[in-house]
Amino acid sequence: MIKFFRKIRQRLIGEGNIKRYLIYAFGEVFLIIIGILIALFISDWNNDRKLRKIEVENLKLIANGLQEDISKIEYLKQQARQRIDRLNVLDSLYKSPNPKYEPKMATLFGEIGWAETLELNRGPYEGLKSQDLNLISDDSIRQGILHIYETAHRQCETSNDWMKQSAINMWEPLMANFHLTTLNDLSPMDEKNIWKNPLIPNFISYQKGVLKEHQLDVFGRAQKEMIVLRDRINRHLAEDD
């Protein structure tokens, strides 16, 4: 192609036709510019495709991570409701006139002094952050991701710390009155006088409050926000398929 244009240029110069040569020169420059613009367009298009592919991969990882956390929270919420129900049974026993201890009640007493914490999956977010959060082209999705992992996650972690500390604070005074029969069951040392211990009803009330405030309320709010973001990401991905 270069030889072809060179021959035309030399022929026009040899003919001495300045006007035709200038028209040709202008056309050649125009073709070169068009070629450069096309090359730049193709390069930008390829780059955009690569960035979009990276964005989609990250969004899929985020959506999967959110679904994993949503399922974990749902499990903990179910466990919290069941534990509150069992604590209510124990509370009613303390309020009854002449309660009698039975071995099966060890499970009820075991609900007082422990807490199940939430382990959230931050891997997909940390992976995205190490690349560039601006890879996410949709502003609302990017802001949603930031909110979940920088705010909602932190709130859940604070609740985790609170529950761990409250369990530690409860455990020592509780163990002065109980044997640990299994991993989560507590059997009273004094089966008759355990109903007269004023600390136990306080522990029951406190533990119910912890479960409601943290596992149901804090984790529940985070779960709702995660569901909204997961659905928004899935809609965004579906639009590009």
Residue 48 has pLDDT above 90, yes or no: no
Q: What distance in Å separates the CA atoms of residue 85 and residue 211, rounded to the nearest whole number?
A: 11
Average pLDDT estimate for 123-130: 93
Q: Which residue has the higher pLDDT, 78 or 46?
A: 78
How many independent structural domains does the chain possess?
A: 1
Asked, for residue 37, whether it belongs to a domain, the answer is no
Reduced to 3 states (helix: H, G, I; strand: E, B; else coil), residue 176 is coil
Average pLDDT estimate for 175-200: 84
pTM, two decimals, is 0.78
**Which candidate, 214, 216, 228, 226, places its Cα nearest to that of 68?**
226
* Domain assignment of residue 135, given as a range: 53-240
Asked, for residue 48, whether it belongs to a domain, the answer is no
Asked, for residue 198, whether it belongs to a domain, the answer is yes
The predicted structure's pLDDT at residue 219: 95
Say if CB 78 and CB 173 are below 8 A apart. Answer: no
Asked, for residue 168, whether it belongs to a domain, the answer is yes
Asked, for residue 12, whether it belongs to a domain, the answer is no
Residue 56 has pLDDT above 80, yes or no: yes
Asked, for residue 204, whether it belongs to a domain, the answer is yes
Asked, for residue 18, whether it belongs to a domain, the answer is no
Q: What distance in Å separates the CA atoms of residue 113 and residue 54, rounded to the nearest whole number?
A: 46
Asked, for residue 70, whether it belongs to a domain, the answer is yes
